[in-house]
Chain A
């Protein structure tokens, strides 16, 4: 019932001195991907003697601009847009020889910068393999990118290449679309596509929220089974849809592992000056058989 006030005080403030302070510059969106990425980074930091702080990369440009003056021992960057200014600031950081880990998106190629994340080509291949499991011979597919999950969008051509590499001539048509940060616009997009182009039999989504909204639209249009959906993420509702057969499968990345690996890599660079140049945290394909 009662706790020592001294213990309580100790619990409110951690005074253990750490060695390194790493700053992660991430998009401001508060979705599960970045939440898990932060969790992974914090878990890694607490397991080694590091501190991590998270900063917005796009909502406050000054923050990123001044980053090199802020005394950080390393950066984890999620640069999903090749912005001129950001690239300039990044190059200034590189000049300062501050360790950098680029997460999911490799916007600059520099010996002092390292990549951690998922290979988008693998995501494309995963989508293609899922589609093949339907046994169809002809695929008319729509691939919907989303600003809500810019990581996939940055190297979009790699995703498409991956799909094509698996489906080859069976892929009769591959359209690409893009949704904004509006949580409901995927539904509107799906409705428009299916209304105007009834030949589409495959919709591939690259964001968990877009997946849920699109599935709801398919159900509302009474097209379940006629249009196959490949989702993204491991939301419980997505899993439930997979089990019911509404969704064919889902592409799952491992953001926790990405965040965790990023911090470990930064410490390795701080201590040794190098780490593995490329860390692929891989993807998982979730299907009905896995349920």
Chain B
């Protein structure tokens, strides 16, 4: 509370008032003192004039008494003598002040005068005519001298006062200047304190407005502000700092919440993509299954017809074809054992041998121990072989060779399908190896090679080199699927 604006203003007001009262008192006291000094000067003169008037008053009854022996004159004379005697001060100090010395001299002269006066009265009573006449002459001389000394004192006083008048005026002027100076100082003091107080309030307010501006601009890293001002301003400043901290804290919380929401949204989107992919996969499967179902039934009819007509090769062919389709249709899992995949491929191989007995040479180079050791995505080898059959040799004469090889190079399981066909143009390879996004439009080419590649990317999203296509014009193509045996595919069914 001591530092509050109200208390401060009250203290400043009181200090200013005290200074002004002090300065006014200073002028007043000094003026009164000067008046007292002046009065004292005149007081001395008035007193001596009073003594002189007693001396003058004595003259008439003295003469009357000496000339007529009047008892009334004597009574008056004695009364005046007593009055004068009582009036003359007993204490007569000696100082270096000339006026004091003259006064002292006058008092002693009056003492002598009164002694002589009493002596004359006694001489008169004793009728010593010659003596009191002679004494009267001396007394008169003394009276004249006393009067002249009182006049001297008045003259000396007047001269002194004349000399002092200037210093008196100078003194008074000095007192007034002192008073004026004090008032000016008090005013300056009050003004400086007022300005300091205003500055104490205005400066923090200005700083606060600047800080508020920065805060409104989103800058919350500004340091706390502290002022040594009045309590009210200090409290506002503290509240402002607290407000800044709270806003900062709340905004940080909001940011964290938003980030979390963003993460959730990202997760949702990712899940959505996953769902879309799954749906697309299902669609692929459905599309892949539509025709085979119809064909499977048809082929079964064909097998029965071939058996009825004793066409064994046809029956074998149709049986292999049926086995292939059965594999394709019945297989609902995404991953199958390598053996299972190879069995499907063998059915297809048998068909191809019948279809292309003299133009196609299919070589299976698979280590038997690997077949039950590893799994692989279902339906990935046969489409690759089919792709070679369909595209590698269409513009090439002679026997085409397709080699399917499976080997294990720890930790990679390498499934390779190579041919010695016309090869695949680089731009097609590039297009094929581009992972599809969820908004990829299905085309007629989803079947076969592209289907396999995209499924590999899907199952192993973090393994960008899951599939490799090496192809040269007219030199053949090798498609290698590199399955990292220690990596778990993103989905397993």
A residues in contact (CB < 8 Å) with B: 2-3, 5-6, 8-9, 12-21, 45-46, 50-51, 53, 62-63, 65-66, 69-72
Given A5-B175, A62-B145, A71-B105, A15 and B97 touching (CB < 8 A)? Answer: yes
**Pairwise interchain contact B167-A21, C-beta atoms closer than 8 A:** no
Query: In the complex the two chains form, what is the Cα distance from A18 to B97 in whole Å?
Result: 10
Is B30's CB within 8 Å of the partner chain A?
yes
* A interface, over-half SS: mixed
**Pairwise interchain contact A66-B109, C-beta atoms closer than 8 A:** yes
Besides the contacts A5-B34, A71-B111, what 13 more A-B pairs have beta carbons closer than 8 Å?
A: A2-B177, A3-B174, A6-B33, A12-B164, A14-B97, A16-B95, A18-B94, A21-B104, A45-B96, A53-B102, A66-B141, A66-B142, A71-B108
Name the interface size band of chain B.
20 to 34
Residues of B within 8 A of A66 (CB): 109, 141-142, 145
**Pairwise interchain contact B107-A71, C-beta atoms closer than 8 A:** yes
CB distance from B81 to the nearest CB of A (A): 17
Residues of B within 8 A of A21 (CB): 94, 101, 104
Query: In the complex the two chains form, what is the Cα distance from A164 to B69 in whole Å?
Result: 67
Query: In the complex the two chains form, what is the Cα distance from A50 to B95 in whole Å?
Result: 8
Given A16-B95, A70-B109, A8 and B142 touching (CB < 8 A)? Answer: no
CB distance from B157 to the nearest CB of A (A): 13
**Pairwise interchain contact A70-B174, C-beta atoms closer than 8 A:** no
**Pairwise interchain contact B145-A17, C-beta atoms closer than 8 A:** no
**Pairwise interchain contact A69-B94, C-beta atoms closer than 8 A:** no
Q: Please give me the 6 A-B residue pairs with the lowest Cβ-Cβ distance, nearest first.
A: A71-B108, A69-B112, A18-B94, A14-B96, A70-B105, A66-B145
**Pairwise interchain contact A51-B174, C-beta atoms closer than 8 A:** no
Closest B residue to A42 by beta carbon equals B96
Query: In the complex the two chains form, what is the Cα distance from A62 to B145 in whole Å?
Result: 7
**Pairwise interchain contact A9-B37, C-beta atoms closer than 8 A:** yes
Is B92's CB within 8 Å of the partner chain A?
yes
Given A5-B174, A8-B171, A51-B94, A62 and B109 touching (CB < 8 A)? Answer: no
CB distance from A263 to the nearest CB of B (A): 13
Q: Which residue of B104, B167, B178 contacts A12 across the interface (Cβ within 8 Å)?
A: B167
Residues of B within 8 A of A46 (CB): 96
Is B35's CB within 8 Å of the partner chain A?
no
Q: Show 17 residue pairs from A and B whose CB-CB distance is below 8 angstroms, ordered by the A residue.
A: A5-B171, A6-B30, A9-B34, A12-B167, A13-B97, A15-B97, A18-B94, A18-B95, A20-B94, A21-B104, A45-B96, A53-B102, A65-B141, A66-B109, A66-B145, A71-B105, A72-B105
Residues of A within 8 A of B94 (CB): 17-21, 50-51
Query: In the complex the two chains form, what is the Cα distance from A14 to B98 in whole Å?
Result: 10
Residues of B within 8 A of A2 (CB): 174, 177-178
Query: In the complex the two chains form, what is the Cα distance from A12 to B96 in whole Å?
Result: 11
Is B425's CB within 8 Å of the partner chain A?
no
Q: Which residue of A9, A51, A63, A70 contacts B108 across the interface (Cβ within 8 Å)?
A: A70
CB distance from B76 to the nearest CB of A (A): 24
Query: In the complex the two chains form, what is the Cα distance from A9 to B104 in whole Å?
Result: 22
Report B93-152 residues with CB < 8 Å from chain A CB. Answer: 93-98, 101-102, 104-105, 107-109, 111-113, 141-142, 144-145, 148
Residues of B within 8 A of A63 (CB): 145
Query: In the complex the two chains form, what is the Cα distance from A143 to B438 in whole Å?
Result: 153
**Pairwise interchain contact A14-B171, C-beta atoms closer than 8 A:** no
Given A69-B108, A69-B109, A15 and B95 touching (CB < 8 A)? Answer: yes
Residues of A within 8 A of B30 (CB): 5-6
CB distance from B282 to the nearest CB of A (A): 111
Residues of A within 8 A of B113 (CB): 69
Report B20-37 residues with CB < 8 Å from chain A CB. Answer: 30, 33-34, 37
CB distance from B460 to the nearest CB of A (A): 103
Query: In the complex the two chains form, what is the Cα distance from A13 to B148 in whole Å?
Result: 24
**Pairwise interchain contact A51-B96, C-beta atoms closer than 8 A:** yes
Query: In the complex the two chains form, what is the Cα distance from A272 to B457 in whole Å?
Result: 142
Query: In the complex the two chains form, what is the Cα distance from A5 to B37 in whole Å?
Result: 12
CB distance from B294 to the nearest CB of A (A): 128
Report B164-184 residues with CB < 8 Å from chain A CB. Answer: 164, 167, 171, 174-175, 177-178
CB distance from A52 to the nearest CB of B (A): 9
